[in-house]
Structure 1
Amino acid sequence: MRARVALAAALLPALLLAGCASAPYEETALPSPSVPAEVETPTGPSPGPSPAAGCEDPLASYAPLDPLPSPDSLPAGSTMAQIRDRGRLVVGVSADSLLLGARDPVSGRIEGFDIDLARMVAEALLGDPDAVELRVITAAERIPLLQDGSVDLVARNMTITCERWEEIAFSAEYYRSGQKVLVPLGSDAASLDDLAGARVCAPTGSTSLATLQRDHPDVEAVGAATHTDCLVRFQQGTVDAITGDDTVLAGMAAQDPYAVVVGEAFTDEPYGLGVNADDVDLVRFVNAVLADAVADGRWRASYDRWLADSLGAAPTPPVPDYGRG
């Protein structure tokens, strides 16, 4: 335990740096007065979200614009033209999900697979991948900040669900993840089924926490504001395990030599870029950008840079579903 606490102490300066380092392009951390920094979730079964009426296929998004307009030929009055006139794309991101969206402690730059996608959209809209304002948000803030217009997009390992389609819109699926569990190195646990009575952490507002509450009432579900909060608790010994997408847990294991990801994925977590429900034109624009990134190899190059070492060779990119009317 002493070694684990020492490691936690060693990591804390980097975590603090993540909140204050400068970067070569604009970033904004939003205050969260309505979202508690730490939420303890009661144990016991939870009914979970009810199926959304009329949502037969949550992966169905809107057909991409064809052809994709250049920054100089965006339709007048469109959401894209408004963003161009503003001069920057505002994207809600994570700064503590290593490999997906995390601040490099040396350069101060937020980087990762999700960040690459945000920059691709900015380049298509404004002709410059750096014309992006990255706003660091929690999982619980993703939908409210899209709904009130504080951000144009959310690129934060966000699972597409029918329930979320009732509140926001999504791009086509850009990556398929799955929920696993992270435990101490040397643990006998091979899955959540082996953790009865254990304290298991996941971010508040995530599908990981909802699944934990709904399907695993024999564990003590512990909600926290971010994955980093879960990791610090894990290192301090106040929780016994962390559950989340394999992409996120791979980044945690890379930071903590006393942690290991175990078991097979027990959910499907299709990721999409979140958009305000009224901005269908922007969804169609984003879908065209994603399709181009797959076709010209940028999607695979980004995967190879960020995820291949932890998750293996790049899978076949998800086949987009454009069946939403």
Structure 2
Amino acid sequence: MSMWHKNLTRRGAVTMAAAVAVALAAAGCGDGGSTPLPGKAGGEKVDQSVYDAAPVASDAEIPAGSTMDAIRKRGYLTVGGSLDAPLLSQQNPVSGQIEGFDADMAKLLAKYIIGKPEVKTVTIGTQTREAMLQAKSVDAVFQTYTITPQRATQVAFAGPYLTSGLAVAVRKDETGIKSVKDLAGKTVIVGANTPAVTALPTAAPGSKQVAFATDPQAVQALLQKRGDAYVQDFTLLASGAKANPGMKVVGEPFTTEAYGIGLNREDAQFKEFVNNWLRKIQADGTWGKVWKSTLGSVVEGDAPTPPAIGSVEGS
């Protein structure tokens, strides 16, 4: 499980047992296009022009009898994912749309295969992902799925398509801290027993740590000026900044956790197809536009360089 998922559970998200029950019931949510409403409920809006300009695979790239051919004939992509992950994959309670980086990436893959961004999302728990892929209950999993060699013995990973890791958040009006290098000698808020506790002494020599048991407590401590910065997993900080306009994320993660698109391990053809699609949307700027409109909406600076395909053991 990724750090983000562990912390999301602590923040009072839907319990894992409920997620598994929903998954086993295969409750799907249709989700074509991307027209989220303004507000804090979901991700930021990805402009329709991004979908209009997104690539579509040629007939030659979709051989008869392939997984891609079956998806195209079906008319939608079935994705294992989440409905409660802000800026990644969260269902807007007003519009019903599923919004965020993972959700929009899934829609773009559907557009590439089918010609339109038709996705049905099945909510699954982290412990059921491998079984769902092996049973072909879903075509792919977009769920901050950390690539590991052990998991790669059970499923295939396309990508990595996103990297996370420890990052730095500060108050909105802070201008003197741009990255972890600026934390030397500062008072830094951390989550108790998180990787930040051991990583900071090397990354920011002389920094003083103030630990809090939960993420909400740490965020409030930052806003109350009980520390100069808060170091935590990037995706969790982005979620916190979405809900708390008084904070922002600065710089890029200074440790690395690579996320992959989970696929059936026996389908090497589909993995190659998805990797080729990723290379295309990285090269034409689509990936960067989606990042800026979702995770990047609470981060200062330009979109990061996308991770190199196949660059992580297990991918």
Provide the C-alpha distance between the structure 2 equivalents of 1:165 and 1:171, rounded to a whole number of angstroms.
10
Cα drift, residue 29 of structure 1: 8.7
In structure 2, the partner of 1:158 is 145
Residue 286 (structure 1) aligned to one of 267, 274, 288 = 274
1:6-55: per-residue Cα shift (whole Å, max 9, x none)? xxxxx99xx89xxxxxxxxxxx9962579xxxxxxxxxxxxxxxxxxxxx
Provide the C-alpha distance between the structure 2 equivalents of 1:233 and 1:158, rounded to a whole number of angstroms.
26
Asked if residue 141 in structure 1 is aligned to residue 128 in structure 2, the reply is: yes
Structure 2 matches for 1:121-270, cutoff 5 A?
Answer: 121-129=109-117, 131-179=118-166, 190-192=189-191, 195=192, 245-256=233-244, 265=253, 267-270=255-258
Distance 1:118 1:253, change over 3 A: same
In structure 2, the partner of 1:111 is 99
Cα drift, residue 104 of structure 1: 1.9
One-letter code aligned to 1:177: S
Tell which has more relative contact order, 1 or 2 (C-alpha 8 A, sep 6+). Answer: 1
One-letter code aligned to 2:310: D
Cα drift, residue 299 of structure 1: 0.7
Distance 1:231 1:136, change over 3 A: farther
Structure 2 matches for 1:3-18, cutoff 5 A?
Answer: none
Cα drift, residue 93 of structure 1: 1.4
Distance 1:30 1:88, change over 3 A: farther
Percent identity among equivalent residues?
Answer: 37
Q: Is the 8 A contact 2:23 2:123 kept in 1?
A: no
CA RMSD of aligned residues (A): 4.4
Cα drift, residue 113 of structure 1: 1.0
1:272-294: per-residue Cα shift (whole Å, max 9, x none)? 11101011111111111111111
1:292-323: per-residue Cα shift (whole Å, max 9, x none)? 11122211111111122323320112222389
Distance 1:91 1:285, change over 3 A: same
In structure 2, the partner of 1:31 is 22
Q: Is the 8 A contact 1:83 1:89 kept in 2?
A: yes
Cα drift, residue 120 of structure 1: 1.2
Partner SS for 1:252: helix
Asked if residue 302 in structure 1 is aligned to residue 302 in structure 2, the reply is: no
Provide the C-alpha distance between the structure 1 equivalents of 2:107 and 2:154, rounded to a whole number of angstroms.
25
One-letter code aligned to 1:89: L
Cα drift, residue 253 of structure 1: 3.6
Provide the C-alpha distance between the structure 2 equivalents of 1:97 and 1:126, rounded to a whole number of angstroms.
26
Provide the C-alpha distance between the structure 1 equivalents of 2:23 and 2:217, rounded to a whole number of angstroms.
21
Q: Is the 8 A contact 1:93 1:156 kept in 2?
A: yes
1:35-78: per-residue Cα shift (whole Å, max 9, x none)? xxxxxxxxxxxxxxxxxxxxxxxxxxxxxxxxx85258621221
In structure 2, the partner of 1:218 is none
Cα drift, residue 252 of structure 1: 2.9
Partner SS for 1:158: strand
Asked if residue 74 in structure 1 is aligned to residue 68 in structure 2, the reply is: no
One-letter code aligned to 1:306: T
Cα drift, residue 258 of structure 1: 8.8
Q: Is the 8 A contact 1:30 1:136 kept in 2?
A: no
Cα drift, residue 100 of structure 1: 1.0
Partner SS for 2:129: helix
Distance 1:257 1:190, change over 3 A: same
In structure 2, the partner of 1:316 is 305
Q: Is the 8 A contact 2:155 2:264 kept in 1?
A: yes
Task: Give the TM-score of the pair, scaled to structure 2.
Answer: 0.60
Cα drift, residue 190 of structure 1: 2.7
| Count of residue pairs the alignment pairs up | 238
One-letter code aligned to 2:306: P
Q: Is the 8 A contact 2:189 2:218 kept in 1?
A: no
1:162-195: per-residue Cα shift (whole Å, max 9, x none)? 1111110011211221046999xxxx65334xx3
Cα drift, residue 136 of structure 1: 1.8
Provide the C-alpha distance between the structure 2 equivalents of 1:168 and 1:244, rounded to a whole number of angstroms.
28
One-letter code aligned to 2:309: P
Provide the C-alpha distance between the structure 2 equivalents of 1:141 and 1:182, rounded to a whole number of angstroms.
32
Distance 1:258 1:137, change over 3 A: farther
Partner SS for 1:172: strand
Provide the C-alpha distance between the structure 1 equivalents of 2:314 and 2:234, rounded to a whole number of angstroms.
28
One-letter code aligned to 2:276: A
Q: Is the 8 A contact 1:179 1:246 kept in 2?
A: yes
Q: Is the 8 A contact 2:23 2:122 kept in 1?
A: no
Which is further off, 91-100 or 310-319? 310-319
